[in-house]
Amino acid sequence: MRSLIRPHGGGDLKCLLLEGKARAEEAKRAAHLKHVPMTSRETGDLIMMGIGAFTPLEGFMGHDDWLACCNTYSLPSMKNLFWPIPITLSVEEDYSKSIAVGEDVGLWDTETDSLLGTMHVTEKYKIDKEHECKQIFRTTDPNHPGVHKVLDQGAVNLAGPVKVISESYYPEMFKGIYQRPAEARAAFAERDWSTVAALQLRNPMHNSHAYLAWIAIEVCDGVYIHQLVGKLKLGDIPADVRVKAIDALVNKYFRKDRVIQGGYPMDMRYAGPREALLHAVFRQNYGCTHLIVGRDHAGVGDYYGPFDAQKIFQEIPPDALLLRPLCMDWTFYCYECGTMASMKTCPHESKAIIDENGNYKGGARLLLSGTLLRKLMSEGKPVPPQFSKPEVIAILKDYYDHLEEKVDVKLHGYATGVTPERK
């Protein structure tokens, strides 16, 4: 039996989710505590700490950790451990005045109107929100969905260690997909995998995703298709539909002994390069040795260059992570090659021309993206068969056919192949 990669920080998984009698007693105690409402982002982060995905964090960050995390990717309270994105909890300033340092509070999920955990408050502090946005998102534009969330959060952050008493609706709603790191590691060990590539997904799996996964399987023992089942921005396809579509593709087009599916409960931050690093941190905790990093990983709009998420792995200290990026070039279907290809392998540079009925009219490269797929589906336009498998298209068509309120999906340059680097 081969050994698995160590969790981030080099120790064991740090799971803050209480079990059995301890959970029941903490839930009973928490009912009498002052309640702190959480956003969906904070709820997801709390659960990630609970299940050990954010090992070795013990709670929401204090001011010094927040600032160092923004500026130097490090946590002073943990011997300058590498960490790329702040994990914080905020409240409105007026409400913060009723909470004392040293007090225990209940952590309340406003979406489900339920108690998910407790925190011992060790610090209250204000932050420079624009500084966080500049460092993490590289922009202060409020139209950026991640920036909008930071600017919209409460004025005061609360810090302190947490105890988690619930994983909310995720284990039941996404039964068979939602996984804790220990469960994923057990599945890898059962198959005697020691090299595992994680494929990050927030969209239904089109042929470029599948192509990346097949390449990863060629160089690793297996691939972990790890999909986000938390909150996305308006216009993205909801988690339950994505899970169904991905399941349909994987079950028919992958060897079952070389792929494992999983889901995790975070919100997308759309932080591009910084979020790619966070994806690497918690994928290492899940037991993955590699993270597939393709075009515009965790990006949105034109805020990041198409390969900035790959470049950032070269900018961090070499010992920051044990996990390594598996960097992939832009992939597409080439009509000249008659197969999926990439910028590194395909010599045919002309862009494929597809008419409004989905018919091929010439050219070589059909560039695939989740944004373009959503736009075609939302407008009821035919999707070329080279774009995605028919089982996936059928599921998405059913979703869009029954969608009461249509959302306009805007194409950015990187979704169409027009970039400053490749015009």
Q: Which residues are known to be catalytic?
A: 202-203
- Kind and range of the H or E element at 44? helix 40-51
Residues in the chain: 423
- Token representation of residue 217: 């399987």
- For residue 376, the Cα-to-chain-centroid distance in whole angstroms is 24
- Taking residue 29's Cβ as centre, other Cβ atoms within 10 Å add up to 14
Q: What span, in angstroms and rounded, lies between the C-alpha atoms of 417 and 423? A: 7
Q: What span, in angstroms and rounded, lies between the C-alpha atoms of 231 and 94? A: 27
Contact (Cβ atoms closer than 8 angstroms) between residue 272 and residue 285: no
Burial of residue 389 (CB within 10 Å: 0-12, 13-18, 19+) is middle
| Residue 282: C-alpha distances to residues 153, 279, 319 (Å) | 24, 6, 16
Q: What span, in angstroms and rounded, lies between the C-alpha atoms of 276 and 125? A: 28
Q: What span, in angstroms and rounded, lies between the C-alpha atoms of 199 and 275? A: 14
- 17 DSSP 8-state letter: B
- Token representation of residue 351: 């862009």
Q: What span, in angstroms and rounded, lies between the C-alpha atoms of 43 and 46? A: 5
Q: What span, in angstroms and rounded, lies between the C-alpha atoms of 170 and 341? A: 36
Helix (H, G, I), strand (E, B) or coil at 280: helix
Long-range contacts of 140-143 (CB under 8 A, 24+ apart): 141/303, 143/301
